[in-house]
A and B are shown apart, each in its own frame.
Chain A
Amino acid sequence: EAGVAQSPRYKIIEKRQSVAFWCNPISGHATLYWYQQILGQGPKLLIQFQNNGVVDDSQLPKDRFSAERLKGVDSTLKIQPAKLEDSAVYLCASSLRLAGSSQGTQYFGPGTRLLVL
């Protein structure tokens, strides 16, 4: 079974530029998450989707970050304009949706390492 795919793996941009990340979840996984991991910290949730609907985006800085999951499969996360503090690894994860069960284990992609100069 193929895992969660992400691209690009690395990105270097200057502040005030824009950048986009792409994620393809595990086939059949209805739930998709974007996390931000700053160096020395654990991953922090930015947004989660259930199929193509947003479940939680309370921690997404909406003035500069946006995300979509058209057709309930692939997802893109965009930052516009980027700030120095956005330098981090952006992780995508997906999980099955089985109501009432404990099968919500999240599987992570390799991440995109972003450096903002």
Chain B
Amino acid sequence: DQQVKQNSPSLSVQEGRISILNCDYTNSMFDYFLWYKKYPAEGPTFLISISSIKDKNEDGRFTVFLNKSAKHLSLHIVPSQPGDSAVYFCAASAFQNQAGTALIFGKGTTLSVSS
């Protein structure tokens, strides 16, 4: 049973437009959520995170929104750039992401940004 779901395997966006990547979760114990970006032949790179006490967190062009009642989060990239083309993983953990708590990952969404 998948606890973290990324239902869109791929997304194509034009440069300069907004990219919206979605993630759903089923475990109500999750209280910390992260997005990782992965380029081919590299490990995942931490992008942005959000605690369950917030509903929005912003870092430059990246914003993560959390809707706890719907158990849904989304990553917005504005404006999208060709260098953003990568696989994006949504991940979740329980217990405020204290070290020692494993991450549960979704299957990833491949974002392609065309110029």
Binding site for B on A (CB under 8 A): 4, 6, 30-31, 33, 40-45, 48, 50, 55-56, 91, 93, 95-111, 113
Contact = CB atoms under 8 A, between A and B. Distances in A.
Interface in B11-39: 32, 34, 36
Chain B, interface size category, equals 20 to 34
26 contacts: A4-B43, A31-B99, A31-B100, A40-B107, A41-B107, A42-B89, A42-B105, A43-B89, A43-B103, A44-B105, A45-B102, A45-B103, A48-B102, A56-B100, A56-B102, A95-B99, A96-B99, A97-B99, A101-B98, A103-B99, A104-B93, A105-B46, A105-B97, A106-B46, A109-B43, A111-B42
Interface string B85-115: 0000101010011111111011110000000
Nearest to B46: A105
A43 B99 contact: no
Contact of B100 (A6, A41, A55, A102): A55
A50 B34 CA distance: 21
